């Protein structure tokens, strides 16, 4: 209540509500009649006025995953203006050059407006109707599915039903909305597709298992806005200023408060320009660099000891048989190139729980074993490997370790390596040691590069998951019970709910929720995107549907990709513009007559022409309004998927074949209007007893009485409100930039993951001035400005649940060593959840890239990742030697163009800003080759060659590596032979050797030769 | 406000059809031009913090007084002397002369009226002027001009402070009135929408898309009308509460563009529609 004095001195108590209600303001302006004014001229003038209707609507940008808001103005179904949304909490009215150029997108004459067909051997496209297009797609699916169906497989002498077709592949998209990703995943699995993939495999697939192994979840821990709360920011393997431009806004806020920015990258870029310290590092050596900082922290006792004891496994006892010798961890099998991870666990008590010690210096403690492992990584060794001078590494270590909270930002410079997972695991180790997790201004910020790549990953357009990071069943897991023996009872609940979403009332406990109908992948098979093209070259892949991705530019080793596409029987591409992938048969130098692939092009609506949600890098689910109709006959991908699935189902309607039962059992009935919101509700989930939408994850039941298409999204429609539409950009009681009523974040609207770790063991915030959550003894609850990241809100610090800051790990704590561990479930007698352990080691270890200019200084006999299996096809995956290819090539993207350039190279403004590809090389190399700026040079690798212009620069310097001079060159990868700007594709050069955990390719480090052309 | 006369003259030059109504306002601005803007006292706006964070406008807060009522009363009285100026319509002058008589040699009444108006206490105001039979609307009109003139020097710092304190209501943070116009203005946060108070002339930022009168944010039920001949002003429509809001989107004309009368032609356009105006009524339905 407020005290308000009236004129006469009386005291009134006026509540805000009372004020509003009691305010009856007399019109402050007078009417014309009161003014005694006649305005006949005004009336006369307005009769001649020409009026037109328009409207404004908001959308979210379609490039990097900053998730910037846009305001669009549309008139007569034409976009007439597009600008940054001033009310948006991330971009605050700003847009980068790419985002601002999107006003051109719906008006571009280059957009494909009708379905197209390219007959086998033809050199032209012909326009076809949508009905014809969908009929062709559906008939092809049916034919390939019927002719290549695998109903059962033998594994370990036992026959299992597998319901799969390995001759169909679907490549989804991080470009499309969540609802589209969800339906694509649903359609693919219902049709028996195992080869379901998308961009995330190529960009951040190593992030998920790495962060998962450390913290329990695979997502960016904090948010764009939260960068402002950091005292030190380490950007490694990212050119954030160019590729995530809005992040700079928040970094600069931190800098205004005195924060120091450190940039570690192979080039001096625009990001380096805004940084206080820049270190030029050799691509592929980050583990050695970070290893030196970790060693500095450990050997100087600079760890956050309270944090280590409370929130990590530092004082757990490691299995005595665990060892690391000469580049190999215990359990390595040279024949299979795999580890037996039995020795990577803890010493367990009789209940299967890890043994702990009060003395962290105990020789078996995780902390001691970690110290032992990292003691080899001194500054000198790191300098020899990375090329960063000793003094610089030392300075960075001192600054980063000496200022807390510190946050880390990274992108593909860390992920795209054969040690991608371990690169990011190094961040996990460092941040846990420093107590830099779960607090404002801390964390590990994976800068996701596509607008909805978090969503497309959440919805599992990846062969190894079902929506919600539920492991995709293997052929030797015939029922949920068996599946749960590997994946845990905790996740089995979510699988049941997914099956209820997909099969409705047909899914019952008695029929194991129709789990048996799901496709089961072969446990020993790699179904990644690389294998899609490789199996195509082997004539195994017959039908390929690619939606919103351009692998003929973005995939590595493009000659292999082209060879694969040339062998596919039917290729279906859904996109906005003609892409190099759809038109692969038009590639310069190729005779179309020699290619018998039929191609169907489906024109897709752009993001401005459809509604739905997407989720940005910091897990913020936001609604895009569809303010204009799609151009020509283009259709939203949601509608395209629906048309294809319903047509395929129709083709099977009379089938009595058991393999086709799934079409009769699955629930697939979506309305034509407001379809996105309908699908979002299915994703959110329902209480099937009441028919009401679920309000949160806590309401999900294991007994079939609830459904959810993705348990992480339960609550996005809480209380019937589409929370992705919320726009309150002012309410922020924390003052930390949480904005809890702006859109919605998973899980449960949590803004900062693991925020329990911002409190000590008693539940008291470590930093009372910057607190997120705390234990309230009076109400016996966890409360705060953010959604507390605790298993049960009422389980206080004195309970086991009250000490699980990393509750999604089996142990419930942060994992310095990512040990093998399954949390026993006392009730069911099974294990509840398993912690993730990388295939190539529980602790990061430095290995050289597959193509390296030097020897491994730590263990020359184990130079590169020992678990790496490459080449997979010897004839097409050659490994270059340093004698022939002496320079290290690093590739990445630029501000003006994005990924495969399918959209941006059709934007005239952007082509004016950056018209062609080029190679950036140091002065010293240019002098050696007698090359000047703008000269044409030939770049060759073991896989291909390109002609490009030279950009001679001081932004890259030659490095001293193991006492030898090493030269790094750099190229953008955004070009191809279609679009308004054409140039050679850099990925003709790059290598497709992959990380053994996720197969992500090593596009950041391969060897090339450069010659003056 | 004492610089509005030349701006108004320029505006009328560009919009000759506004000459009739403009003449009336030119007379009013002429009066204001005689006065020097008061010097703003140093005010620690934080004394209003609790109130503003609870949605109570500055003039309704008991925390401090920012209106110089003595000075405002002088202006108020001087405005009523326009009754003797031949430039105003006779019908209007008839109403003003009643007020002038009421206030003549009664400054205390003028001050009391101003204080009552600033509180938007209509009941008290009615009882104050009942005996004189003065027109409530005209009293309120002139009173707000006088009040606005005296608080104008405070507005820059006040508006800045209000922004820092995240005012997110649709009514004026200074006086509590509904906005009479809006403006899209380039700021560090892109083109931000500012609502404009027709009473005390305060401007405050408000969400870019959404109806300030009913809070509707459903984009399907929000529309715009653009006028080819007046490209700098658009009409924001809300189908939910059937209201309209004139929004200036040009580069600025020194403030005259947000004076309600200067876009009366836009009101004329809306007059034939289902949409209603809030905050002030220039055109009677």
pLDDT tens, residue by residue, B178-236 = 999 999 999 999 999 999 999 999 999 999 999 999 999 999 999 999 999 999 999 99
Query: CA separation (Å) from A762 to A433, A440, A507, A789, B143?
Result: 20, 19, 44, 15, 60
* Residue A354 DSSP symbol: B
What is the chain B residue with the closest CA to A23? B120
Residue A299 sits at φ, ψ, to 5 deg, of: -75, -20
Give the SS3 label for residue B63: coil
- A968 is written with which tokens? 């790094």
- Looking at residue A1, its pLDDT comes to 33
Classify strands A277-280 and A260-265 as parallel, antiparallel or unpaired: parallel
Residue numbers in A near B261 (CB within 8 A): 29
- Rounded to the nearest angstrom, the minimum Cα separation between A788 and chain B is 25
What is the chain A residue with the closest CA to B282? A31
Of A35, A55, A93, the CB nearest to B92: A35
> What's the distance, Cα to Cα, between the start and end of chain B in Å?
30
Instruction: Evaluate if residue A10 carries a pLDDT over 60.
Output: no
- C-beta atoms of B56 and A27 within 8 A: no
Provide the chain B residues 18-77 that lie in CB contact (below 8 A) with chain A. 18-21, 24, 50-51, 54-57, 60-62
Q: Give the pLDDT band (50/70/90) at residue A18.
A: very low
Of B51, B137, B207, the CB nearest to A27: B137
Contact B235, B227 (CB under 8 A): yes
What is the average pLDDT across B68-76?
96
A229-238: b (≥16 Cβ within 10 Å) or e: bbbbbbbbbb
To test the contact with chain B by mutation, choose from A8, A20, A25 the residue with the greatest count of B C-beta atoms within 10 A, namely: A25
Of A23, A50, A86, the CB nearest to B176: A23
Secondary element (H or E) of residue A54: strand A51-60
What is the chain A residue with the closest CA to B233? A51
- C-beta atoms of B18 and A42 within 8 A: yes
- Looking at residue A14, its pLDDT comes to 44
Greater pLDDT, B36 or A462: A462
Residue numbers in B near A42 (CB within 8 A): 17-18, 20-21, 264-265, 268
Q: Give the pLDDT band (50/70/90) at residue A26.
A: very low
Q: pTM for the full model? A: 0.95
Contact B113, B135 (CB under 8 A): no
CA angle A123, A127, A131 (to 5 degrees): 130
Residue numbers in B near A674 (CB within 8 A): none
Size of interface A-B (CB pairs under 8 A): 219
- C-beta atoms of B219 and A53 within 8 A: no
* Mean pLDDT taken over chain A: 95
- A683 is written with which tokens? 């994703």
What is the average pLDDT across A304-320?
98
- Looking at residue B272, its pLDDT comes to 82
Chain position carrying tokens 């008291």: A764
To test the contact with chain A by mutation, choose from B23, B143, B190, B200 the residue with the greatest count of A C-beta atoms within 10 A, namely: B190
- C-beta atoms of A34 and B222 within 8 A: no
- C-beta atoms of B122 and A26 within 8 A: yes
Instruction: Evaluate if residue A6 carries a pLDDT over 60.
Output: no
- Looking at residue A909, its pLDDT comes to 93
Beta strands in chain B (DSSP E): 179-187, 190-197, 203-206, 222-227, 233-238, 243-248, 276-277
Instruction: Give the whole-angstrom CA distance, residue A243 versus residue A245.
Output: 6
- Rounded to the nearest angstrom, the minimum Cα separation between B42 and chain A is 22
- C-beta atoms of A31 and B282 within 8 A: yes
Residue A460 sits at φ, ψ, to 5 deg, of: 65, 50
- Rounded to the nearest angstrom, the minimum Cα separation between A222 and chain B is 23
Beta strands in A758-862 (DSSP E): 773-776, 781-784, 822-824, 831-834
Residue B285: CB atoms within 10 Å: 8
- A580 is written with which tokens? 């190099």
Alpha-carbon dihedral sign for residues A499, A501, A507, A509? positive
Instruction: Give the whole-angstrom CA distance, residue A303 versus residue A316.
Output: 16
Instruction: Give the whole-angstrom CA distance, residue A707 versus residue A692.
Output: 11
Identify which of A571, A534, A551 has the alpha carbon closest to the alpha carbon of residue A973.
A551
Of B217, B265, B279, the CB nearest to A45: B265
- C-beta atoms of A23 and B207 within 8 A: no
- C-beta atoms of A627 and B219 within 8 A: yes
What is the chain A residue with the closest CA to B190? A93
Can the peptide bond before residue B238 be classed as cis, meaning omega within 30 degrees of 0?
Answer: no
Residue numbers in B near A34 (CB within 8 A): 92, 95, 135, 137-138
- Rounded to the nearest angstrom, the minimum Cα separation between A72 and chain B is 11
- Rounded to the nearest angstrom, the minimum Cα separation between A39 and chain B is 6
Instruction: Give the whole-angstrom CA distance, residue B34 versus residue B36.
Output: 7
- B234 is written with which tokens? 């658009």
Whether B120 has its CB under 8 Å from any CB of chain A: the answer is yes
Q: Give the pLDDT band (50/70/90) at residue A827.
A: low
- Rounded to the nearest angstrom, the minimum Cα separation between B274 and chain A is 15
Can the peptide bond before residue A747 be classed as cis, meaning omega within 30 degrees of 0?
Answer: yes
Share of residues in chain A with pLDDT > 70 (%): 97
- C-beta atoms of A7 and B54 within 8 A: no
Beta bridge partner(s), residue A312: A814
Of B166, B198, B217, the CB nearest to A28: B198
Greater pLDDT, A20 or A923: A923
Tens digit of pLDDT for each residue in A891-916? 999 999 999 999 999 999 999 999 99
Instruction: Evaluate if residue B253 carries a pLDDT over 50.
Output: yes
- Looking at residue A7, its pLDDT comes to 28
Greater pLDDT, A531 or B42: A531
Contact A274, A240 (CB under 8 A): no
Residue A12: CB atoms within 10 Å: 13
Of B122, B198, B217, the CB nearest to A24: B122
Of A2, A49, A94, the CB nearest to B227: A49
Provide the chain B residues 252-281 that lie in CB contact (below 8 A) with chain A. 260-261, 264-265, 268-269, 279-281
Can the peptide bond before residue A571 be classed as cis, meaning omega within 30 degrees of 0?
Answer: no
Instruction: Give the whole-angstrom CA distance, residue A511 versus residue A774.
Output: 44
Provide the chain B residues 154-173 that lie in CB contact (below 8 A) with chain A. 166, 168, 171
Residue numbers in B near A20 (CB within 8 A): 55, 171
Provide the chain B residues 182-211 that lie in CB contact (below 8 A) with chain A. 187-193, 198-199, 207-210
Instruction: Give the whole-angstrom CA distance, residue A266 versus residue A268.
Output: 7
Q: Give the pLDDT band (50/70/90) at residue A22.
A: very low
Of A24, A38, A44, the CB nearest to B120: A24
- Looking at residue A849, its pLDDT comes to 98
Length of chain A equals 1013
What is the chain B residue with the closest CA to A94? B190
Share of residues in chain A with pLDDT > 90 (%): 94
What is the chain A residue with the closest CA to B89? A36
Instruction: Give the whole-angstrom CA distance, residue A408 versus residue A598.
Output: 46
- Rounded to the nearest angstrom, the minimum Cα separation between A730 and chain B is 6
What is the chain B residue with the closest CA to A18? B56
Of B56, B137, B178, the CB nearest to A2: B56
Predicted ipTM > 0.85 = yes
CA A495 from chain centre, in angstroms, equals 22
- C-beta atoms of A23 and B141 within 8 A: no
- Rounded to the nearest angstrom, the minimum Cα separation between A263 and chain B is 26
Greater pLDDT, A351 or A921: A921
- Rounded to the nearest angstrom, the minimum Cα separation between B70 and chain A is 15
Judged on CB neighbours under 10 Å (0-12, 13-18, 19+), A505 is exposed
- C-beta atoms of A83 and B135 within 8 A: no
- Rounded to the nearest angstrom, the minimum Cα separation between A896 and chain B is 21
Instruction: Give the whole-angstrom CA distance, residue A625 versus residue A722.
Output: 13
**Residues contacting B188, CB < 8 A, separation 6+:** A92, A93
What is the average pLDDT across A377-401?
98
- Rounded to the nearest angstrom, the minimum Cα separation between B22 and chain A is 10
């Amino acid at each position: 209540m407020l005290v308000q004095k009236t004129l006469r001195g009386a005291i009134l108590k006026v509540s805000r509500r009372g004020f509003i209600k009691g305010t009856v303001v007399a019109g402050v302006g007078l009417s014309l009649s009161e003014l005694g004014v006649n305005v006949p001229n005004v009336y006369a003038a307005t009769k001649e006025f020409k009026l037109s209707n328009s409207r404004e609507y908001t959308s979210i940008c379609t490039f990097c995953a900053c998730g910037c808001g846009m305001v669009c103005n549309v008139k007569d179904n034409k976009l007439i203006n597009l600008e940054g949304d001033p009310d948006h909490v991330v971009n605050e009215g700003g847009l980068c050059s790419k985002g601002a150029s999107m006003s051109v997108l719906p008006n571009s004459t280059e957009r494909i407006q009708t379905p197209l067909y390219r007959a086998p051997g033809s050199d032209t496209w012909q326009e076809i109707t949508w009905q014809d297009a969908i009929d062709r797609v559906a008939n092809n699916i049916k034919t390939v599915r019927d002719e290549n169906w695998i109903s059962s497989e033998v594994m370990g002498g036992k026959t299992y039903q597998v319901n799969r077709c390995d001759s169909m592949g679907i490549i989804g998209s991080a470009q499309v909305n969540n609802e589209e990703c969800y339906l694509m995943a649903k359609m693919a699995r219902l049709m028996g597709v195992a080869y379901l993939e998308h961009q995330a495999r190529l960009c951040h697939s190593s992030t998920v298992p790495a962060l998962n192994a450390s913290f329990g979840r695979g997502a960016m821990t904090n948010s764009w806005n939260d960068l402002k709360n950091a005292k030190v920011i380490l950007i490694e393997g990212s050119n954030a200023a160019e590729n995530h431009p809005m992040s700079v806004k928040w970094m600069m806020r931190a800098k205004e408060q005195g924060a120091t920015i450190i940039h570690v990258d192979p080039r001096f870029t625009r990001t380096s320009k805004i940084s206080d310290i820049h270190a030029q590092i050799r691509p592929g050596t980050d583990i050695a660099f970070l290893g030196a900082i970790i060693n500095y922290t450990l050997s100087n006792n600079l760890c956050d000891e309270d944090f280590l004891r409370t929130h990590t496994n530092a004082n757990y006892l490691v299995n005595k048989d665990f060892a690391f010798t000469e580049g190999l961890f215990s359990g390595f099998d040279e024949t299979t190139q795999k580890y037996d991870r039995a020795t990577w666990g803890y010493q367990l008590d009789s209940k299967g729980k890890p043994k702990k010690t009060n003395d962290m210096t105990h020789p078996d403690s995780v902390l001691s074993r970690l110290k032992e492992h990292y003691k080899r990584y001194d500054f000198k060794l790191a300098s020899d490997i990375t090329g960063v001078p000793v003094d610089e590494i030392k300075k960075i270590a001192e600054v980063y370790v000496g200022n807390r909270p510190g946050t880390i930002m990274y992108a593909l410079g860390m992920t795209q390596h054969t040690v991608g997972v371990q690169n990011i695991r190094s961040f996990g180790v460092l941040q846990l040691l420093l107590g830099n997790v779960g607090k404002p201004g801390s964390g590990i910020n994976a800068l996701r590069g596509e607008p909805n790549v978090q969503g497309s990953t959440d919805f599992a357009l990846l062969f190894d998951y079902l929506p919600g990071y539920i492991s995709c069943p293997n052929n030797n897991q015939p029922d949920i019970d068996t599946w749960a023996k590997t994946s845990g009872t905790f996740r089995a609940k979510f699988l049941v709910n997914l099956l209820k979403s997909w099969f409705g009332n047909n899914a019952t406990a008695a029929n194991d929720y129709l789990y048996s109908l799901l496709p089961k992948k072969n446990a020993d098979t790699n179904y990644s995107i690389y294998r899609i093209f490789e199996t195509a070259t082997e004539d195994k892949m017959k039908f390929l549907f690619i939606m919103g991705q351009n692998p003929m530019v973005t995939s590595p080793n493009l000659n292999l990709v082209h060879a694969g596409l040339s062998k596919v029987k039917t290729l279906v591409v859904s996109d906005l513009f003609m892409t190099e992938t759809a038109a692969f048969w038009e590639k310069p130098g190729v005779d179309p007559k020699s290619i018998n692939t039929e191609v169907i092009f489906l024109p897709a609506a752009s993001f401005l022409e459809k509604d739905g949600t997407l989720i940005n890098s910091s897990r913020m689910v936001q609604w895009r309004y569809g303010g204009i109709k799609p151009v020509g006959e283009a259709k939203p991908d949601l509608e395209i998927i629906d048309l294809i699935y319903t047509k395929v189902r129709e083709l099977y309607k009379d089938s009595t074949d058991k393999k086709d039962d799934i079409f009769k059992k699955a629930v697939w009935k979506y309305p034509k209007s407001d379809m996105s919101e309908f699908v979002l509700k299915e994703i959110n989930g329902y209480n099937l007893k009441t028919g009401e939408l679920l309000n949160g994850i806590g309401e999900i039941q294991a007994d079939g009485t609830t459904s959810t298409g993705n348990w992480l999204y339960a609550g996005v429609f809480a209380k019937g409100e589409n929370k992705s539409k919320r726009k309150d950009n002012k309410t922020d009681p924390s003052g930390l930039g949480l904005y809890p009523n702006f859109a919605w974040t998973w899980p449960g609207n949590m803004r900062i993951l693991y925020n329990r770790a911002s409190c000590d063991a008693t539940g008291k915030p470590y930093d009372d001035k910057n607190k997120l959550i705390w234990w309230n003894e009076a109400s016996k609850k966890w409360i705060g400005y953010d959604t507390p990241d605790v298993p049960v809100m009422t389980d206080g610090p004195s309970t086991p649940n009250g000490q699980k800051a990393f509750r999604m790990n089996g142990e419930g704590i942060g994992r310095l060593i990512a040990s093998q561990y399954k949390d026993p479930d006392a009730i069911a007698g099974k294990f509840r959840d398993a912690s993730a352990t990388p295939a190539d080691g529980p602790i990061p270890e430095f290995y050289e890239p597959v193509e390296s200019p030097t020897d491994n200084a730590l263990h020359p006999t184990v130079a590169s990742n020992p678990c790496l299996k490459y080449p997979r096809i010897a004839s097409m995956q050659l490994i270059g030697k340093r004698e022939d290819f002496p320079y290290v090539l690093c590739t990445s993207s630029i501000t003006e163009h994005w990924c495969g350039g399918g959209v941006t190279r059709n934007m005239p403004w952007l082509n004016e800003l950056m018209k062609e590809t080029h190679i950036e090389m140091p002065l010293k190399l240019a002098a050696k080759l007698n090359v000047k700026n703008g000269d044409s040079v030939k770049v060759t690798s073991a896989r291909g060659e390109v002609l490009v212009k030279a950009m001679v620069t001081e932004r890259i310097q030659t490095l001293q590596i193991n006492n030898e001079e090493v030269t790094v060159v750099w190229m953008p990868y955004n070009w191809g032979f279609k679009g308004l700007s054409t140039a050679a594709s850099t990925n003709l050069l790059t290598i497709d050797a992959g990380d053994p955990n996720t197969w992500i390719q090593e596009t950041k480090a391969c060897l090339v030769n450069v010659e003056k052309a | 406000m004492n610089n509005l006369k030349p701006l108004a003259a320029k505006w009328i030059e560009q919009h000759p059809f506004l000459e009739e109504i403009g003449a009336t306002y030119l007379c009013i601005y002429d009066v204001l031009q005689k006065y020097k803007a008061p010097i703003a006292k140093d005010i620690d706006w934080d004394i209003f913090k609790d109130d503003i964070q609870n949605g109570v406008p500055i003039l309704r807060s008991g925390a401090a007084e920012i209106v110089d009522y003595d000075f405002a009363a002088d202006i108020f009285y001087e405005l009523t002397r326009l009754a003797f100026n031949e430039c105003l319509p006779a019908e209007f002058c008839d109403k003003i002369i009643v007020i002038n008589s009421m206030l003549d040699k009664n400054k205390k009444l003028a001050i009391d009226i101003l204080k009552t108006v600033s509180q938007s206490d209509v009941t008290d105001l009615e009882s104050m002027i009942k005996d004189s039979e003065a027109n409530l609307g005209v009293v309120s009109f002139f009173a707000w001009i006088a009040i606005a003139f005296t608080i104008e020097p405070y507005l820059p710092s006040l508006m800045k402070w209000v922004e820092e304190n995240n005012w997110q209501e649709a009514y004026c943070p200074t006086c509590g009135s509904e906005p009479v116009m809006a403006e899209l203005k380039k700021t560090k946060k892109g083109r931000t929408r500012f609502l404009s108070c027709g009473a005390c002339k305060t401007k405050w930022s408000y969400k870019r898309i959404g109806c300030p009168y009913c809070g509707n944010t459903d984009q399907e039920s929000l529309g715009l009308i653009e006028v080819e001949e007046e490209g700098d002003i658009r009409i924001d429509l809300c189908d939910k509460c059937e209201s309209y809001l004139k929004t200036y989107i040009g580069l600025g004309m020194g403030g005259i563009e947000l004076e309600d009368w200067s876009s009366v032609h836009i009101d004329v356009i809306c007059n034939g529609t289902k949409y209603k105006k809030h905050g002030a009524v220039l055109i009677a339905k």
